[in-house]
Every structure is written in structure tokens, then in C-alpha cells.
């Protein structure tokens, strides 16, 4: 997967949301070879597990698979279930360092955890939700890095229902911050036309 050399690099200071939050697109930040290598390692080395969510009091397994990594067995509770972090994988530390360097001018931060998602193909997506768990604090900075198949990522305003959509491609970095999680939902859309896998890494800071 070689990135198109003529794809314009988006200005990260440009806000993709019209109001009530900030989403910055840094474009593709890894060379094709590096992104391919990371994707291969992540697909093969991560102990992917189907996610569990509690719906109407019942535990169900999602088609999408996940993994949770971070410092000191950090705990993260979402969808009614608490996960304990696995110790950083060397590739995740390398990507985390690169992400922190890229965003240092606009959103300087140090992440202490990462939620990974694996979508086998376009039949698997992620339903509307916000990353607004208590552990993430009031205005979390969440950096998402994508590898593999391009997928449509959509934001929907909680009050006005206004939508903003974008494609997330191999090696791309997107950062959500400000009041984004308070006012907007986001989702990964399903598509029967996508037959390749995609991995997303969402770096977060758990406040203890």
C-alpha cells in the first residue's frame, strides 16, 4: 500500500468540525513501507479478542475485535465492562512516540494507553458512541491512527444531528480534542464493498 505522493497534506490546525469540538487531520504520517510493516505486526502479534458489551443487562460479543494496552495494568471501563491494560508492545510504543511528536505543536500530551480495534472487513463497524468515560476526564485528547482498508468515519452532533464524514486511510493520524466527546457521537460505517481488514489505534490518557 503506497501512499499517493500527490495527496495534499491537510493543515492540522484546520478543524473538521463546524462547532462544539475540535478534530484535526494530520493526513498520512507514515511512509508506505513503515505503515505496511506496522499493519503486519499488529495483525499478527496482538492477542485480538471479540469485544464484550452489556446491552439491556446481557453480555454480548461484538464481531469487531479489540485489545487494550497501557501503563501499569491501567483499568478502563466502557460498555459496562472493565478491561486491564496489557504492557506496551514495542510497536505501539514506537507509534505512540511518533504520534506525540506530530501533535506536540497543537495538542502536547503524553498518552498512557491505547485501545486497538480490528475490523475483518466492511461487515464489521462501530456503532454511534462518544469516548466520554469518567477515566478520560472532561476534554480528552484522543489520537487515532489507521492501518489497512480505508473506512468511512462519521461524526453526528448530539443535539442538532448534523453530520461530518471523512475517510480514514492507511497510516493516517486524526486527533479529537476540546469538547468533541461531550457534543458529538462518532461511528465507523459498515460497507459491503470492503473486503480487507483494518486496524485502528486510539491513544488515550486515563486519569487515575
Ligand X SMILES: O=C(O)CCC(=O)C(=O)O
Question: Quick one: 26 or 153, whose CB is closer to ligand X?
Answer: 153
From the CB of 45, what's the least distance to ligand X, in Å?
Answer: 19
Cβ-contact 43, 170 below 8 angstroms: no
Q: Nearest Cα to 177, choosing from 141, 203, 144?
A: 141
Cα 188 to Cα 155: distance, rounded to the nearest angstrom: 9
Q: CA 102 from chain center: how many Å? A: 16
From the CB of 32, what's the least distance to ligand X, in Å?
Answer: 20
| C-beta nearest to ligand X: residue | 200
Question: Quick one: 89 or 126, whose CB is closer to ligand X?
Answer: 126
Residues that bind ligand X (CB under 6 A): 115, 117, 126, 131, 144, 153, 168, 186, 188, 200, 202
| Residues present in the chain in total | 208
Question: Quick one: 16 or 126, whose CB is closer to ligand X?
Answer: 126
Kindly give the residue spans of alpha helices, DSSP state H, lying in 77-160: 90-103
From the CB of 64, what's the least distance to ligand X, in Å?
Answer: 8
Question: Quick one: 12 or 148, whose CB is closer to ligand X?
Answer: 148
Residues β-bridged to residue 52: 61
From the CB of 178, what's the least distance to ligand X, in Å?
Answer: 16
Question: What does residue 65 show for φ and ψ, rounded to 5 degrees?
Answer: -110, 155
The b/e string for 57-83 (b: 16+ C-beta within 10 A; e otherwise) is: eeeeebebbbbbbbeeebebebbeeeb
Question: Quick one: 105 or 130, whose CB is closer to ligand X?
Answer: 130
From the CB of 150, what's the least distance to ligand X, in Å?
Answer: 11
Amino acid at each position: 500500500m503506497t501512499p499517493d505522493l500527490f495527496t495534499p497534506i491537510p493543515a492540522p490546525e484546520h478543524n473538521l468540525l463546524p462547532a462544539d469540538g475540535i478534530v484535526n487531520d494530520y493526513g498520512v504520517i507514515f511512509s508506505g513501507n513503515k505503515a505496511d510493516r506496522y499493519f503486519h505486526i499488529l495483525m499478527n502479534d496482538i492477542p485480538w479478542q471479540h469485544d464484550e458489551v452489556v446491552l439491556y443487562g446481557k453480555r454480548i460479543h461484538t464481531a469487531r475485535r479489540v485489545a487494550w494496552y497501557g501503563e501499569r495494568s491501567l483499568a478502563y471501563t466502557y460498555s459496562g465492562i472493565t478491561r486491564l491494560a496489557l504492557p506496551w508492545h514495542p510497536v505501539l510504543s514506537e507509534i505512540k512516540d511518533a504520534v506525540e511528536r506530530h501533535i506536540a505543536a497543537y495538542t502536547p500530551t503524553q498518552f498512557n494507553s491505547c485501545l486497538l480495534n480490528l475490523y475483518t472487513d466492511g461487515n464489521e463497524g462501530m456503532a454511534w458512541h462518544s469516548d466520554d468515560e469518567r477515566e478520560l476526564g472532561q476534554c480528552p485528547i484522543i489520537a487515532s491512527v489507521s492501518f489497512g482498508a480505508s473506512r468511512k468515519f462519521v461524526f453526528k452532533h448530539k443535539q442538532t444531528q448534523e453530520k461530518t464524514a471523512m475517510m480514514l486511510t492507511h497510516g493516517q493520524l486524526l486527533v479529537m480534542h476540546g469538547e468533541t466527546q461531550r457534543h458529538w457521537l462518532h461511528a465507523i460505517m459498515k460497507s459491503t464493498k470492503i473486503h480487507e481488514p483494518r486496524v485502528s489505534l486510539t491513544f488515550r490518557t486515563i486519569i487515575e
